[in-house]
Structure 1
Amino acid sequence: MSVPNSARTRPARRITLGGLPAGVLVALAAGVLTGCGIAPTGVIDAGEPAHGLKAPGKPAPDVQLYFLGPTGLRPASRPATAPVGPEEAINLLLKGPNDAERQRGLTNVLPVLPGRVTAEAEDGKVTVHVPMNAKRLDTPSMSQLVCTAANASVPGARSPSEVLVTLVGSNVRVGPMVCGGTNAFPFIQPSPSSALPD
């Protein structure tokens, strides 16, 4: 009696590619996937994670802190859960750059202040109270404070370059100043235009 072809057992075949056994192929694939030249890194602290949903048509809230970098004043953007006012932004600035910002070469040149910094914001203007003679701050320190305050949430819907910032400390006022992106500059009141004859 003959056994049907379907009932015969066949020897198992080895899967090969170009004559290479499957085990060698797996080892080669693992080597290709792990040898891509990227060194392993640890977790990089880039601030608090973003929360909530972005409203359509509105930018996600963030806070711009200004630190000194290798080529001058540089912004560092951090996510926020709500708009951040000038005083809160300056307090974050005073804590210095986080690990990710330090890896970018950003540093804080503000001196250690002997007390608390406060800020008041009104229609397109910010007054920053520092616990020292405001004129003793050097240009990079003033620029960090002015640009951080001007880029915070200030009433009046002005662009950061139009926000007027005044530093006050030890009964000395410096300003108003504006943030020019790379430095703080004294605000120069535009002269009234002369009336044109009819």
Structure 2
Amino acid sequence: MTNSARARRIALAGLLAGALGGLAASTLTGCGIAPTGVIDAGEPAYGVKAPGKPVPDVQLYFLGPAGLRAASRPAKAAVGPEEAIRLLLEGPNEAERQRGLTNVLPVLPGRITADVRNDEVTLRLPMNAKRLDTPSVSQLVCTAANASVPGSRHPAEVRVTLVGDNVKVGPMVCGGTNAFPLIQAGPSPSATPAG
């Protein structure tokens, strides 16, 4: 093949590529979709999942129209019970409010701290623990149980106790939509010695 034939083929290929590019551009601009501005649609996407590594998140429990509901928020690292409770007390974000979620916890006179040991969490409240209603207790228990707790237990197996003003409530477990008192297994009536 001569140099002039090669030059003609290259020129022809360039002309063909330009024509196809122009055709594609005119097709895409003529599809009838008008440009829009920025649309506010809730929280922005966070990070990219690395293969084999789940993106950490934190589960906060708010009250919704049909009862207690989880709201998952992205996190940079695992979130422990105390930090999860702090986020819970800040209330639902805009996207969660649009889903009908609300916080029923009362305004507290101080902060809540958490003591964590294996599959047990003790939340120390700045008020009498028995003054909280059932939905408030469920919000606290389920948020703490679904946070990062040592021991790799399923959230339904994490025992949560509320302590405030020397009053103890619990231990309790999260049943998904409510907190329930942990039923301690004792000896069965047939196992007691006859006397």
User: Structure 2: which 5+ runs fail to align?
Assistant: 1-29
1: CA distance, partners of 2:41 / 2:170: 38
2: CA distance, partners of 1:142 / 1:81: 27
Aligned residues: 163
- Once superposed, what is the RMSD of the aligned Cα atoms? 2.5
In the TM superposition, what whole-angstrom CA distance separates every residue of 1:119-151 from its partner, at most 9, and x where no partner exists? 111110100011100000000000000000000
Match of 1:188 in 2: 183
1: CA distance, partners of 2:112 / 2:144: 12
Question: Under a length normalisation based on structure 2, what TM-score does the superposition of the two structures give?
Answer: 0.76
CA distance 1:40–1:190, shift in 2 (3 Å): farther
Question: Under a length normalisation based on structure 1, what TM-score does the superposition of the two structures give?
Answer: 0.74
Match of 1:50 in 2: 46
Higher helix share: 2
Percent identity at matched positions? Answer: 71
CA distance 1:40–1:143, shift in 2 (3 Å): farther
Does 2:64 correspond to 1:87? no
In the TM superposition, what whole-angstrom CA distance separates every residue of 1:53-101 from its partner, at most 9, and x where no partner exists? 5454332100000000000000000000100000000000000000000
2: CA distance, partners of 1:81 / 1:115: 26
Residue in structure 2 matching 1:171, options 157, 163, 166: 166
In the TM superposition, what whole-angstrom CA distance separates every residue of 1:16-64 from its partner, at most 9, and x where no partner exists? xxxxxxxxxxxx953xx35xxxx98831332x6524x545433210000
2: CA distance, partners of 1:54 / 1:120: 31
Match of 1:9 in 2: none
Q: Which runs of 4+ in 1 moved over 4 A?
A: 192-195
CA distance 1:189–1:60, shift in 2 (3 Å): same
